[in-house]
Amino acid sequence: MKKKNVLNLIKYYAEKNDSAFRNEAYEIAKKFDKSDDYQLSEYIMALLSDANTFSPQIDASENVFVKRIETTNNPLPLPNLIKDNILGIINAIGHKAGVNKFLFEGPPGTGKTESAKQIARILERELFIVDFDSVIDSKMGQTSKNISLLFNEISSVSNPDKIIILFDEIDSIAIDRINSNDLREMGRATSSVLKGLDNLNDNIVLIATTNLYKAFDKALSRRFDAIIDFSNYTKQDLLEVGEVILNNMLQKFKFAGRNMRLFKKILKGMDIVPYPGELKNLIKTSIAFSDSNNEYDYLKKLYINVSKNDENIDLKQLQNSGFTVREIEILTGISKSQVSRELKE
Give Cβ neighbours of residue 48 (< 8 Å, ≥ 6 apart): 22, 25, 26, 29
Is the pLDDT confidence value at 204 over 70?
yes
> SS3 of 206, please?
strand
Is the pLDDT confidence value at 61 over 50?
no
In the chain, where are the structural domains located? 3-50, 66-229, 235-344
Beta strand residue intervals within the chain, DSSP E: 66-69, 101-105, 126-130, 163-167, 205-210, 226-229
> Would you say 295 and 255 are in contact if contact means Cβ atoms under 8 Å apart?
yes
Cα separation, 90 vs 79, whole angstroms: 17
How far is residue 303 CA from its own chain's centroid?
Answer: 28
Cα separation, 45 vs 50, whole angstroms: 9
> Would you say 147 and 189 are in contact if contact means Cβ atoms under 8 Å apart?
yes
Tens of pLDDT, residues 98-133:
899 999 999 999 999 999 999 998 888 999 999 888
Mean pLDDT for the stretch of residues 182-195: 74
Among 273, 255, 256, residue whose Cα is nearest residue 264:
273
pLDDT category at 56 given cuts 50, 70, 90 is very low
pLDDT, residue 256, reads: 95
> What is the rounded average pLDDT for all residues in the chain?
83
pLDDT category at 186 given cuts 50, 70, 90 is low
> SS3 of 292, please?
coil
Tally of CA atoms within 13 A in the half-sphere of 218 that contains its CB: 2
Q: Which CATH number fits domain 66-229: 3.40.50.300, 3.90.1150.10, 3.40.50.920, 3.40.50.1100?
A: 3.40.50.300
% of the chain beyond a pLDDT of 70: 81
Tens of pLDDT, residues 75-97:
677 888 888 999 999 999 988 88
